[in-house]
Amino acid sequence: MPNQSLKEKLNQAFAKLKPKKKPAKQDKPTMANQSLKEKLNQAFAKLKPKKKPAKQEIAPQEIKTKENKKENTKKRFKLPKLSSIFKKKKLEQDLPTVNKALPKSLKVIDKYSLYEPFAQVFIVQDPKTGEYRYILDELQLDNFERGIYNRVLEILLAEIESPKEEIPDPRKFFAEEAKKIVDKYRISLGWLPDVSWYKILYHAERDLVGFGKIDPLMRDPNIEDISCDGVNKSVYIWHRTFESIETNVQFENDEILDNMVGKLVHMAGKHVSSAFPIVDASLPGKHRLAVCYRREITPFGTAFTIRKFRDDPYSIIDLINTGTFSEELAAYLWILLENRASVMILGGTAAGKTTALNAMACLIKPGSKIITIEETAELNLSHENWVSLISRQSYGLGGNAIGEVPLFDLVKASMRHRPDMLIVGEVRGEEAYVLFQALATGHGGMCTMHAENLDSAVKRLTQKPMEISPAYIPLMNIVISVQRVHLVKSGVKKAYRRILSTNEIVGYENYANIFTWDPIADQQVASLSSSAMYASIAKRVGQTTADLIEETKRRSEVLHWMRQQKIRSYKEVARIIAEYYARPKEFYQKIRMSEEEKPVAAEPKI
């Protein structure tokens, strides 16, 4: 050590510090000394995949020159990231995402699902102003899903074949076909979790066979009207509970709005363009569509309004339950319609004229031949012997009226079908003259007209373009005025539809008021003893006015019994009325005796 140089001493010191290379092999037992269990464990350990060699194996694949192999490696790199993202999203979808977008000051009044789990609704209220808002919470596609969605749309449009026969449910047909095609191309389109595919198929169905961006609103049974005033303006709805309220649905630019409206018009079988920007059409499901197209006539952009049609229309029992009719008033109209009286319903926009007309039609005697004439199909009757006629616009351009079929021609043509009851959806022109001519020949008739009250209605009828002679005015026997009123009930002010008055036209400017609505008590006040129609009917059928009043009471009890039994469906109500027509005494005795809850008579086809 003393003779060693400093360099040699340092080398010896560092050599002692270095780890020995082969101690691990010496510690392991040799194959001869190992037990069978240890040998098997070592063999299985060699077969297990290593944890981190994936990075070393991917490197050579990135060097490959073929484009398809490059795309495959890129997809394989992205898969772990996508799965982690969608796992987080799947957890977040269970929570109400709307609360994040709304100020905390807004109070949630109501919440319900429209199409589980893709769309739900929050009704919120601003405590300061008291205003309500309709917040639609719909699952949206992210950028990656949007890219695959666009490719899926192209494939679906190319692959789906149009059905050779008319199908009852287009949505069901599309869902089945789309699922088959997506399963076919699912691997080539790229990996996505199941939740993303469900979202893509939902949006494809919504945009291709649905109503586009407003499809969730069309699914809401509580909505009566949907209206859009232009680009970047909130869509407004008329809610059955909260009335007219603003939604969070908007159209960002003209192209999106014009494309959607163009699609709706084509779904209705009509055409819209800058040359013909005004369209009134009927959508699938009998929803009424009114369009003003593009900025030539609407400075804010395309405007549209949809008046939704109920699949299950209001029956007369529904209108009694809501307070529009009273049981006595409905029974009074029941007797008049049985004897082919003519009825006109007056009111303003959205007052409930067509709803009242449709509900009253179920009181018509079964087997009667009914013809309805409308510009847009809105009426929905339960009678089998019913013919529906719809007017048609011209096929010509400009002032050429080639192929036009107006209401006037339809009313004239209907007279050749010998109808027992002729129902015109709304009279506003020369068709009113033909209708009154039909009433003069003994046909029954019903119609609606925009007017505030009876006096204004008579003035409209006697002036152009209707020009009804004053001598023909008494041919319209009954005039009902219905309006939307606001009443305070349980401390809350809400809108209701009420029949303000029911008048009989005895002569020109000679009217008899039979029912009047008392707004304080919210009930109908009757004076049946002064009914000129009852006196006229009594003479024809060999009875007295007192007999008809007694019959009115019996029919009121029948209607009351239906309310007690919760019979409100349009077809069920029509079935009860048909049974009462067939055997009134026996049926009335059953009600009086309360022997059964529901009628057991053979169901006549009405």
pLDDT in tens, 334-390: 999 999 999 999 998 888 899 999 999 999 988 899 999 998 788 888 888 999 998
Tell whether the model's pLDDT for residue 16 goes beyond 70: no
The verdict on domain 323-546 having CATH code 3.40.50.300 is yes
70 versus 438: the higher-pLDDT residue is 438
At residue 98, the pLDDT reads: 38
Terminal C-alpha separation, the chain: 124
At residue 501, the pLDDT reads: 95
The pLDDT confidence band at residue 395, using thresholds 50, 70 and 90, is low
Both tokens of residue 76?
């394989």
Tell whether the model's pLDDT for residue 603 goes beyond 70: no
Cα-Cα-Cα-Cα dihedral of 217, 220, 221, 224, to 10°?
-30
The pLDDT confidence band at residue 37, using thresholds 50, 70 and 90, is low
Tell whether the model's pLDDT for residue 108 goes beyond 70: yes
At residue 180, the pLDDT reads: 85
At residue 84, the pLDDT reads: 36
User: How far, in Å, CA of 187 to CA of 181, rounded?
Assistant: 12
At residue 129, the pLDDT reads: 87
Tell me the percentage of the chain whose pLDDT exceeds 70.
80
Tell me the percentage of the chain whose pLDDT exceeds 90.
45
At residue 264, the pLDDT reads: 94
Tell whether the model's pLDDT for residue 423 goes beyond 90: yes
**Strand order across the 510-518 sheet:** 386-390, 370-374, 421-424, 444-450, 343-347, 478-489, 492-507, 510-518, 523-526
At residue 580, the pLDDT reads: 93
The pLDDT confidence band at residue 87, using thresholds 50, 70 and 90, is very low
Both tokens of residue 496?
């209701």
Tell whether the model's pLDDT for residue 145 goes beyond 50: yes
Per-residue pLDDT, averaged over 76-84, amounts to 34
The pLDDT confidence band at residue 473, using thresholds 50, 70 and 90, is very high
Tell whether the model's pLDDT for residue 56 goes beyond 70: no
Per-residue pLDDT, averaged over 75-82, amounts to 34
At residue 399, the pLDDT reads: 53
Q: Are strands 421-424 and 444-450 parallel, antiparallel or unpaired?
A: parallel
At residue 552, the pLDDT reads: 95
212 versus 599: the higher-pLDDT residue is 212
User: How far, in Å, CA of 572 to CA of 318, rounded?
Assistant: 12
Domain with CATH 3.30.450.380 in the chain: 143-307
Per-residue pLDDT, averaged over 151-165, amounts to 83
At residue 512, the pLDDT reads: 94
Domain with CATH 3.40.50.300 in the chain: 323-546
At residue 389, the pLDDT reads: 92
Q: What is the mean pLDDT of the chain?
A: 82
What SS3 string covers 254-267? HHHHHHHHHHHHHH
| Per-residue model confidence as pLDDT tens digits over 433-465 | 889 988 988 888 999 999 999 999 999 999 988
At residue 442, the pLDDT reads: 84
Range with the poorest average pLDDT among 132-136, 156-160, 420-424: 156-160
Total-model pTM: 0.73
Choose which CATH entry (3.30.450.380, 2.60.120.10, 3.40.50.1260, 3.20.20.70) describes domain 143-307: 3.30.450.380
The pLDDT confidence band at residue 144, using thresholds 50, 70 and 90, is confident
The pLDDT confidence band at residue 482, using thresholds 50, 70 and 90, is very high
Burial 366-402 (b: 16+ CB within 10 A, else e): bebebbbbbbbebbbbbbeebeebebebeeeeeeeee
At residue 19, the pLDDT reads: 53
Closest CA to 122 of 88, 91, 95, 140: 95
Tell whether the model's pLDDT for residue 328 goes beyond 80: yes
What lies within 8 Å, CB to CB, of 189 at 6+ separation is 148, 151, 152, 182
The pLDDT confidence band at residue 31, using thresholds 50, 70 and 90, is very low
Tell whether the model's pLDDT for residue 39 goes beyond 80: no
